């Protein structure tokens, strides 16, 4: 017999699989963006753009109690995106 905890953990596993897929797709686009930035001699960091991305996406969160955590998640994801772009830039 499956417990509620096991069911919830299975749901989390399914969501995590979706997140992993979306993360990979997002970073494929990030790779295209750094190629464009290299070609056009643009800096990796555009802090105004990053703040706009965070705020736009935070508005999608309906639950006020978790919005702050979502902002933290997005801040970290954008940091990882910059790190990835920097690694690609160093390779070229």
pTM given for the model:
0.89
What are the chain's domains? 4-91 (1.20.59.10)
DSSP string, 41-79: T--S--HHHHHHHHHHHHTT---HHHHHHHHHHHHHHHH
pLDDT, average across residues 5-28: 98
Q: What is the pLDDT of residues 28-87, one digit of tens each?
A: 999 999 999 999 999 999 999 999 999 999 999 999 999 999 999 999 999 999 999 999
């Amino acid at each position: 017999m499956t417990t509620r905890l096991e069911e919830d953990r299975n749901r989390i596993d399914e969501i995590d699989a979706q997140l992993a897929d979306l993360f990979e797709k997002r970073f494929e686009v990030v790779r295209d963006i750094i190629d464009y930035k290299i070609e056009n001699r643009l800096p990796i960091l555009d802090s105004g753009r990053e703040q706009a991305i965070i705020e736009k996406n935070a508005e999608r969160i309906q639950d006020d109690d978790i919005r702050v955590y979502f902002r933290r998640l997005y801040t970290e994801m954008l940091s990882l995106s910059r790190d990835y772009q920097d690694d690609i830039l160093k390779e070229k």
